Amino acid sequence: MASPSRRLRLCAMLTCFNRREVTLSGLAALRSSAAVAGVELHAVLVDDASSDGTAAAVREQAPWVDVIESEGDLYWCRGMHRACERAFQQAHDYYLWLNDDTILDIDALPRLLACQAELQERDDDALIIVGSTRDTNTGLTTYGGKRHSGWWPTRFVRVTPSAQAQRIETFDGNIVLLSRAATLRAGNLDPIFEHAMGDTDYGLRANKMGAATWLAPGSYGLCNDNPMTGTYRDPTVPWLRRWALIRSRKGLPHRSWLIFNQRHCGLMWPATFAWPYLRLVLEGLRDWRRGGQA
């Protein structure tokens, strides 16, 4: 914790690709919330080879952001790993994972920091505080904390925020406040994960390493949920396309999915690893049979 003679130092870490105006809006909301919180704000943004001028626009409009340009092969998890790697080299009091399409509420950072301070009084300072996001139209929770659902090890449900902080098992990486002690205990995201899964893996590992994860009360910003349309889960997509999508970086790439299951599913990992691929094959066979019987 910072001494009374200086402001808290907070560093936000983001990654982006080809949504310049969205990224700029997210950074503007971050800066406004940081001003209300009274923190000394720093940020690291990894631009994954955007072709729309994002990096140049950020350097011009937000010169306080350290922009790292990559070769376009990082996607979310590896982009965030690189951003954290740079940020962790600097001695900040807090670190903030932030999706570039998340618009923080003006009082988001003050409330997250207040939640952290309250929990620190009854726990150690290796804390991870997760903020929930909501849909811009419905106001329903879109991202935040997660817990296991039932007995299947890879099935998680999103936790609805309440008036009190809640212990969680893992989280989505949209708004995540980490104390420096938590980063020292849990380390960085694992770049073995190509796009998704890295945040869920980090939350599960952090809890095992003694960096307690909590869902802060209430909601902290706007971020719409990614639609199922056009993904491997969409039954209207032709099967061969779904098979390609499930094996793509934004689906369940086999190496990342294998590591996740071996790491977190115990003796059940062969079944939990194989099931999504097998289920898609069975759905394809079912559709083929229906077509043949028509």
Query: pLDDT tens digits, residue range 226-260?
Result: 889 999 999 999 999 999 999 999 999 999 999 99
- pLDDT for 123 equals 73
Q: What is the mean pLDDT of residues 189-206?
A: 96
- pLDDT for 3 equals 53
- pLDDT for 174 equals 98
Model pLDDT for residues 58-105, shown as the tens digit of each residue: 999 999 999 999 999 999 999 999 999 999 999 999 999 999 999 999
H/E segment holding residue 104: strand 103-104
Q: What is the mean pLDDT of residues 188-215?
A: 96
Model pLDDT for residues 107-132, shown as the tens digit of each residue: 999 999 999 999 998 877 899 999 99
What's the rounded Cα separation, in Å, for the pair 150 and 148? 6
b (16+ CB within 10 A) / e for 260-275: bbeebbeeebeebbee
- Indicate the range of 3-7, 135-139, 156-160, 198-202 predicted with least confidence: 3-7
Q: What are phi and psi of 29, to 5 degrees?
A: -65, -40
Q: Which residues contact 179 (CB under 8 A, 6 or more apart)?
A: 93, 94, 116, 120, 125, 126, 127, 128
b (16+ CB within 10 A) / e for 209-233: eebbbbbbbbbbbbbeeeeeeeebe
For the chain, give the mean pLDDT. Answer: 95
Please, are residues 128 and 42 in contact by the beta-carbon 8 Å criterion?
A: no
Residue 162's nearest CA partner among 105, 218, 220 is: 218
User: Which residue type does 173 have?
Assistant: G
Structure confidence at residue 199 as a pLDDT band (50, 70, 90) = very high
The structure tokens listed for 193 are 């994960």
**Statement: residue 168 has pLDDT above 80:** yes
What's the rounded Cα separation, in Å, for the pair 74 and 71? 8
pTM of the model: 0.94
Q: What is the mean pLDDT of residues 267-278?
A: 98
Q: What is the mean pLDDT of residues 14-42?
A: 98
Please, are residues 14 and 50 in contact by the beta-carbon 8 Å criterion?
A: no
- pLDDT for 294 equals 38
What's the rounded Cα separation, in Å, for the pair 285 and 119? 52
Structure confidence at residue 152 as a pLDDT band (50, 70, 90) = very high
- pLDDT for 80 equals 98
**3-class DSSP assignment, residue 146:** strand
